[in-house]
Amino acid sequence: MSDKFPEKLKFCYWGNPILREKAVKVENPESPETQEFIEKMRLILEEHDGLGLAANQVNCNRRVCLAAFPKEGEYPEMKVLINPVILEKSKKTVRREEGCLSFPGIYKDIDRPGKIKVKAYITGEGERIFEAEELLARIICHEVDHLNGVVFIDHLSYLSRSLLKKELKRIAEKKNIL
């Protein structure tokens, strides 16, 4: 099966069904089509000023995400993770406020593992297994969740989520012009 990417990327907000789809594996990470898609994703992420972006947030069901890798004393380096899989998660979790570009204006405290082990194809580096901690672990968990059809509000209690109903409806109606 060859990789198919949309010609034009459309940012997706809560209410768009693609956010609930499980993304499929990228067969050829170094193909010109894959690289062109990644460049379009980078532009959209810059436009939205985020720390990460998953392909299904731009209406594509491929396992590609961007994540901001912190660099000491510098701006983060945006890396592309293709076909990422979280191999291990620490038992210790960290509760921190989290938001999502697909849920503008919503920020909630979410528990995430403090440390993870990840396997992914990284553009320019090839397939790697690496560990991530703290903010990077949170970003990667968030983006891999997206690729699995899971959104950050799924980590909230039923009560917390039900209190967001009105806001979620507003986002779905206002942002998703189908």
Residue 178: pLDDT above 70?
no
Residue 175: pLDDT above 90?
no
Q: What is the pLDDT of residue 176?
A: 58
Q: What is the pLDDT of residue 82?
A: 97
Separation between Cα atoms, residue 73 and residue 60, nearest integer Å: 34
123's CB contacts (< 8 A; 6+ apart) are: 29, 30, 35, 38, 79, 80, 82
Contact 128, 119 (CB under 8 A): yes
Q: What's the mean pLDDT in 39-43?
A: 95
Q: What is the pLDDT of residue 77?
A: 86
- For residue 57, name the pLDDT band (cuts at 50, 70, 90): very high
Q: Is 118 helix (H, G, I), strand (E, B) or coil?
A: strand
Contact 127, 121 (CB under 8 A): yes
pTM of the model: 0.93
CA 17 to chain CA centroid, Å, is 15
Six token digits for residue 2: 């060859």
Residue 28: pLDDT above 60?
yes
CA 128 to chain CA centroid, Å, is 19
Residue 149: pLDDT above 60?
yes
Q: What is the pLDDT of residue 70?
A: 82
Residue with tokens 């899989």: 85
The DSSP result for 6-45, as a single string, is -SS-----TT-GGGGSPPBPPS-TTSHHHHHHHHHHHHHH
Residue 177: pLDDT above 70?
no
Active site residues: 143
Domains of the chain, by residue range, sit at 17-175
80-137 tens-digit pLDDT = 999 999 999 999 999 999 999 999 999 999 999 999 999 999 988 999 999 999 999 9
CATH topology of domain 17-175: Peptide Deformylase (3.90.45)
